[in-house]
Structure 1
Amino acid sequence: MSKSPADLIPAPEARRVAPNFITEIIDADLKSGKHTRVVTRFPPEPNGYAHLGHAFASYLDFMTAQDYGGVCHLRMDDTNPEGETQEYADSIIRDMKWVGWDTRHLFYASDYYEQLYQYAEQLIQKGLAYVESVSAEEMARLRGTAEKPGTPSPYRNRGVEENLELFRQMRAGKFKNGEHALRAKIDLAHPNFKLRDPVLYRIVHVPHYRTGDKWCIYPMYDFAHPISDAIEGITHSMCSLEFIDNRAIYDWLMDHLFSAQEKGREPPRQYEFGRRSMEYTVVSKRKLRRLVKEGVVRGWDDPRMPTISAMRRRGITPESVRAFASQIGVSRTNRTVDLAIFENAVREDLSNRTPRVMAVTRPLKVVIQNLDAERTLSLPYWPQEATGPSADGKVLVPSGERVATEKAVRDVPLTREIVIEHDDFSENPPKGFKRLTPGGTVRLRSAGIIRCDEVIKGPNGEPTELRATWLGEEGKASGVIHWVSATRGVKAEFRLVDRLFTVPNPDAEAAQFEPEQPGHEDEAQPLNTDFMSFVNPNSLVVTHGLVEPSVTKDPADARYQFERTGYFWRDPVDSSDTALVFNRIITLKDTWAKKAETAEPTKAESKPKPERKADTAASSAPAPARAALDSAQEAVFSRLRTQGVSENEANLLARDPQLASYLEGAEGKQVAALASWVVNDLAASIHAGTHRVGVKELTALVALVTEGSISSRIAKDVLAEAQTSGEAPAAIVERKGLRVVSDEKQLRAAIQGVLDANPAKVAEYRGGKKGLTGFFTGQVMKATNGQADPKAVAKLLNEMLG
């Protein structure tokens, strides 16, 4: 019996993508019979390597198709020969396959060049496109402003035959770059600038990485993308929110080239979802290329980069990337994702798959004077305090096998000379120090207790060797430290990878100009590059130490938890059997959260300021140089500083009369509270003249954040919606009931629901796996649509989990 389209709608429990506004549309389309099969596409441009933003977008495209039993096409959006390469295309295909997607349905927009050209001629023949012959600058001027409609070009009314002849001569290479362009003839008075006779083709005398010199005219994204979707039979074309204005061109092309009446099937339609950016990193390909070009990182796959290739080299698993993508949700508004969500997904995945071994990254030699003979200890890969066995009584070993717990052991030599971490010894210990001190004791992991009897120092006064006595199990020790045999341990290099930037939003000052053509970033104006000033000088620290010899018998792709140090694996490029190199995949705990707690407090309503120091290393970094201000700018800068505006934001506002003018309606203390929002969230729309939120409305929204009624993240979503709808932000908050949930009874109910739904994880937490706190917090936030008060949730979780 054949299934109806409605039968393709998955049950709630079978969905990998949480229900959202796009899946509601798909459900309705299948129920109505508008579509009988779901076909989506993921269309990256091969002008750089895929990054974590692509991981989220690809998850939405591929998993949505899988949920409905359809297919997702991987299509290279390669219509811009400048900057696109085979290397980039191959890397994207490789990365998508690694993430877990089916890349057999592979397409290239360049495969359709001849078809695209024929469709362009169809538009000319219908009187809907013409060859433009004015300069790019004149074309921009003739398009008008937000208040003034565009002016027809003197070439707008060329006849069909003349346009066809000129267009064919463009194809034949008769003209220079910029001499002519093909434009759609739509509406020069339309409020959406995208419909003011957009460019469809431009002349670019640059070889294409796939078609060589065959073409010297190339289609613009707004022309090639919709038609490629139609050619492939895409049903639901999902794009990020910056393409919302482009949808008008998409629909216009569908209506004039692929109407259902003409083609006998429903044409595809575009749907926009909120883009996801990440804290403490950048994902602009232009900026990533600069990091590579200037040697800040060692390449696109440098483990500090946010690229998927870098994730793979760092040792992160595809399962954790997919888990992260599934957690951040789909909405109609842009959001900045806390990097801790990604890091917690990685930790949770690795905690369940990494056996424990010992490595010392900064060695300090210890001579155990009363230990004469070498001893061989049989130590478990999974200490009981780390985790218990699974339901079948088996655990993983480095080879990837599951074995009985009694077999999941390795031999570790205990010798007279060992090494410990340099930081595990202190001559002048701070209060609460529970490691080794002169005359003090400490327990060696699984090897008894030692007492420090003597400290040997080098010329600079630093300890170079400790003399100790082994006490066996006798005596008391307040702390436990890891160790490795100094004579039997294996030398290794450790690359301690950390966040690439010291501030959550390193490119806030750089996002002053948007590309003229989405999908073709290199056509944009140059950006302010101050983001480079915030590179973390400690994003990569290389040390040399020792690892226990058991690792030499393990597969090269084995991942470990080096006890008390972090999760590691061998670098797949630089490591060898004779020269081990380990990358730190991630730390055991979120150390940045503690740094943020001790950092200088910021206003609740503001984004973290660029000058705010995330750690001591950043504090010592030189401040970025600023170009001098003229006298008028200096006056504005001084006034803003006296009103409490940060130095970086005051500098930006002083140089930007449009942004400074927007703030003129704010009063006194309000200016400092609003400045960050204007610089980081409204700058692009203010420059474009499309902002729909006045300073009074913004003040009311920020006041809600200040008083704790809504979170900053919800406020940003509301602001984005207000920019689209024109509704007052505060009204949106009230209409949607978005105020922070702090009522204890309501929060207890939400937390209990999460605990009841995850009994296995509750048992693991109570068994000692405290790292699951982040999981429970995330689930509670998800259950309350992000409205739960985080501090109240943390307190109640601690109480209810015991």
Structure 2
Amino acid sequence: MKKKRNSNFIINIVKKSLIQNSKKKIKTRFPPEPNGYLHIGHAKSICLNFNIAKKYNGICNLRFDDTNPNKEKIKYINAIKKDIRWLGYKWNGKTKYTSNYFDKMYKYAIKLIEKKLAYVEELNKTDIKKYRGTLKKPGINSPYRNRTVQENLILFNKMKLGMFPEGSLCLRAKIDMSSPYIILRDPVLYRIIFSKHHQTNYKWYIYPMYDFAHCIADTIEKITHSLCTLEFQDNRQLYKWILKKLNFKNKTPKQYEYSKLNLEYTIVSKRKIQKLIDNKIVKGWKDSRLYTISGLRNRGYTKKSINTFCQKIGITKQQNTIEISLLESCIRKELNMNSPRRMAILNPIKVIITNISRKDIKYLNIPNHPQKKEMGTRKVLFSNKIYIEKKDFSEKNITGYRGLILGKRVRLKYSYIIKANKILKDKNNQIICILCTYYSKKKYNNIYKDKNIGIIHWIAKNNSIVADFQLFDTLFTTKNPEKEKNILKFYNPKSFIIKRGYVESIIQKEKIKHAYQFERIGYFYKRKKRKNIEVFNRIVSLKKRYKNN
């Protein structure tokens, strides 16, 4: 009998709320800021919010947190929608925007001013931070904290009309400058921004801060469970304070926090990704070395593998760094079952079989998948000119080496045993080709019974086409690049390498659903041709973490 997978603590909270009120409609939301592309951490949030809604017959809204027009763009909105759909999720109704509620939020800000719970601040950012204090030192009241209600209303209205320079004034909540929660030491609620907004154009010159906007939007949409990462744990105090002081009549949502996804050798910070783009380390948000959803998709990852990964890591409050091998194992397991096998040589060395006759040149039937007979077979040419990998040949006898050694035998996978007799080199002492003899199975049956002979992959020259193989490694040489101030210092120059080699010519005519397994090398995703040459991305190696050679 199979054991049931343990529910995460968020699911237990939802279950408890349904026990208390069986008629309750579960409503979650995914609220990205459209200032960049989604990354693997967002995938965790998407899976959590959408799957909880689905599991309990609820709904999940897509709401863009569009409160900062300086950083937000329509292209990011479109990319985010595309990624969510690609992952297999559908949001409730129309796409929502925090900007849909700007009129209401402005009125709520007025209400706080009228209740003497908000004031217009003239201190600059540096002084606001200085007055706020530290965890050990309480804050100091602003000299503008005790303005009259009328004065605050007049100033706030002038802010709305664009009568003050950007950054000169802001609206702050009046809470407690000595609170143990720094977030409650008169946080900023509104600031002045003179930028065109992608939804509201130039209607507004003031924009709400995330903490003010988020809880109000959640309440307007009647969200039952507002799920976010642990970095917003203290923000929950402000979330509750705002809703309480605004006297919302309907049942207000509750915020619950879980640990964010930290993946080794990876950055997900939008600011740091933008730095990589600006410094031309990566080609953009879709670069296959980035762990953005678009980057993973371009590399060849499937939506199933990403969803499986998110389920495996689970939902907890414990902060930890996930090994990248866990993500790789998810795609590897999926591709192992579904990917047809082909031969490819990335670092070719030429082999000439000297004792082969015309009648020995033949097509061999080779399985497309060793475990799936239903995937059929294909014909592969065996002839006198073939290519093997450079790493599969050694001039010297090395203990434990299973490749082709000068004077020794090796078996070509699915084919014949050959022996290296001589090496031809150029004037620079570089190998031009290896001269070999082959052993027919009829004449040398005893040799084929030797289980100690190594097996290597190969490809016939006349059965191959030139191809480029794009190999990806980690962008950084340190496991925790997010913790480093200067990430460029830890950039891995071997994170992207192109190898020009050969692949079976049958690939030109095939329309494979997703990826190939190139025998003994890894899983590869076919990209668009470049200068009439086939291009393949290595999605993942066959077994362990790899380093490019």
1:550 is aligned to 506
Check whether the contact 1:552–1:577 (CA below 8 A) recurs between aligned residues. Answer: no
1:712 is aligned to none
1:506 is aligned to 481
Check whether the contact 2:40–2:293 (CA below 8 A) recurs between aligned residues. Answer: yes
Are 1:51 and 2:50 matched, yes or no?
Answer: no
**1:325 partner SS:** helix
Q: Sort the Cα spacing of 1:28 and 1:246 in 2 relative to 1 into closer, same or farther, 3 A.
A: same
| C-alpha displacement of 1:203 | 0.7
Distance 1:427 1:269 in 2: 69
2:110 is aligned to 121
Distance 2:265 2:134 in 1: 36
Check whether the contact 2:132–2:139 (CA below 8 A) recurs between aligned residues. Answer: yes
Corresponding residue to 2:392 among 424, 432, 443: 424
| C-alpha displacement of 1:577 | 9.5
Corresponding residue to 1:532 among 472, 483, 488: 488
More displaced stretch, 370-379 vs 351-360: 370-379
Are 1:91 and 2:76 matched, yes or no?
Answer: no
Are 1:462 and 2:414 matched, yes or no?
Answer: no
Report matched runs for 1:33-432 at 5 Å. Answer: 33=21, 36-103=24-91, 105=93, 106-259=95-248, 262=249, 265-373=250-358, 374-383=361-370, 387=371, 389=372, 404=374, 408-432=376-400
Check whether the contact 2:345–2:388 (CA below 8 A) recurs between aligned residues. Answer: yes
**2:482 partner SS:** coil
**1:469 partner SS:** strand
Distance 2:282 2:545 in 1: 22
1:559 is aligned to 515
Are 1:485 and 2:460 matched, yes or no?
Answer: yes
| C-alpha displacement of 1:158 | 2.0
Check whether the contact 1:41–1:73 (CA below 8 A) recurs between aligned residues. Answer: yes
Distance 2:237 2:25 in 1: 25
| C-alpha displacement of 1:433 | 0.8
Q: Sort the Cα spacing of 1:568 and 1:239 in 2 relative to 1 into closer, same or farther, 3 A.
A: same
One-letter code aligned to 1:79: T
Check whether the contact 1:62–1:101 (CA below 8 A) recurs between aligned residues. Answer: yes
Check whether the contact 1:182–1:201 (CA below 8 A) recurs between aligned residues. Answer: yes
One-letter code aligned to 1:178: G
Percent sequence identity over matched residues?
42
1:704 is aligned to none
Check whether the contact 1:560–1:567 (CA below 8 A) recurs between aligned residues. Answer: yes
Are 1:569 and 2:497 matched, yes or no?
Answer: no
| C-alpha displacement of 1:201 | 0.3
Distance 1:361 1:443 in 2: 19
**1:74 partner SS:** strand
2:532 is aligned to 578
| C-alpha displacement of 1:34 | 8.2
Q: Sort the Cα spacing of 1:494 and 1:75 in 2 relative to 1 into closer, same or farther, 3 A.
A: same
| C-alpha displacement of 1:538 | 1.7
Distance 1:103 1:247 in 2: 25
Q: Sort the Cα spacing of 1:210 and 1:458 in 2 relative to 1 into closer, same or farther, 3 A.
A: farther
**1:96 partner SS:** helix
Distance 2:467 2:150 in 1: 72
Are 1:453 and 2:421 matched, yes or no?
Answer: yes
1:636 is aligned to none
**2:310 partner SS:** helix
Distance 1:75 1:429 in 2: 64
| C-alpha displacement of 1:343 | 1.1
Q: Sort the Cα spacing of 1:580 and 1:42 in 2 relative to 1 into closer, same or farther, 3 A.
A: same
Could you state the TM-score of these two structures normalised by the residue count of structure 2? 0.93
One-letter code aligned to 2:302: T
More displaced stretch, 488-497 vs 81-90: 81-90
**1:532 partner SS:** helix
**2:178 partner SS:** coil
Per-residue Cα deviation, 1:651-709 (whole angstroms, up to 9, x for no partner) = xxxxxxxxxxxxxxxxxxxxxxxxxxxxxxxxxxxxxxxxxxxxxxxxxxxxxxxxxxx
Distance 1:454 1:546 in 2: 23
More displaced stretch, 58-67 vs 315-324: 58-67
Could you state the TM-score of these two structures normalised by the residue count of structure 1? 0.65
Check whether the contact 2:464–2:502 (CA below 8 A) recurs between aligned residues. Answer: yes
Per-residue Cα deviation, 1:125-168 (whole angstroms, up to 9, x for no partner) = 22221111222222223223334433322322222222222111
| C-alpha displacement of 1:107 | 1.5
1:653 is aligned to none
Per-residue Cα deviation, 1:206-237 (whole angstroms, up to 9, x for no partner) = 22233332222111011111111111111000
Distance 1:251 1:118 in 2: 18
Per-residue Cα deviation, 1:177-217 (whole angstroms, up to 9, x for no partner) = 12110111111221111111110000112222333322221
Q: Which runs of 5+ in 1 are unaligned?
A: 1-11, 390-394, 396-403, 511-527, 593-614, 618-802
**1:352 partner SS:** helix
1:677 is aligned to none
Higher share in strand: 2
**2:356 partner SS:** coil
Check whether the contact 2:421–2:437 (CA below 8 A) recurs between aligned residues. Answer: yes
Q: Sort the Cα spacing of 1:304 and 1:148 in 2 relative to 1 into closer, same or farther, 3 A.
A: closer
Distance 1:308 1:372 in 2: 53
Q: Which runs of 5+ in 2 are unaligned?
A: none
Distance 2:432 2:146 in 1: 85
Distance 2:116 2:261 in 1: 40
One-letter code aligned to 1:424: D
Distance 2:295 2:35 in 1: 16
Higher share in helix: 1
Per-residue Cα deviation, 1:343-376 (whole angstroms, up to 9, x for no partner) = 1111111111111111111111111222233422
Aligned residues: 537
Check whether the contact 2:190–2:206 (CA below 8 A) recurs between aligned residues. Answer: yes
More displaced stretch, 85-94 vs 582-591: 85-94
Check whether the contact 2:424–2:434 (CA below 8 A) recurs between aligned residues. Answer: yes
Check whether the contact 1:93–1:103 (CA below 8 A) recurs between aligned residues. Answer: no
Check whether the contact 1:241–1:333 (CA below 8 A) recurs between aligned residues. Answer: no
One-letter code aligned to 2:266: T
Q: Please give the root-mean-square deviation of Cα atoms over the aligned residues, in Å.
A: 2.0
Distance 1:149 1:297 in 2: 44
Check whether the contact 1:447–1:472 (CA below 8 A) recurs between aligned residues. Answer: no
Distance 1:312 1:453 in 2: 46
Distance 2:92 2:379 in 1: 45
Check whether the contact 1:50–1:307 (CA below 8 A) recurs between aligned residues. Answer: yes
Distance 1:141 1:102 in 2: 45
1:442 is aligned to 410
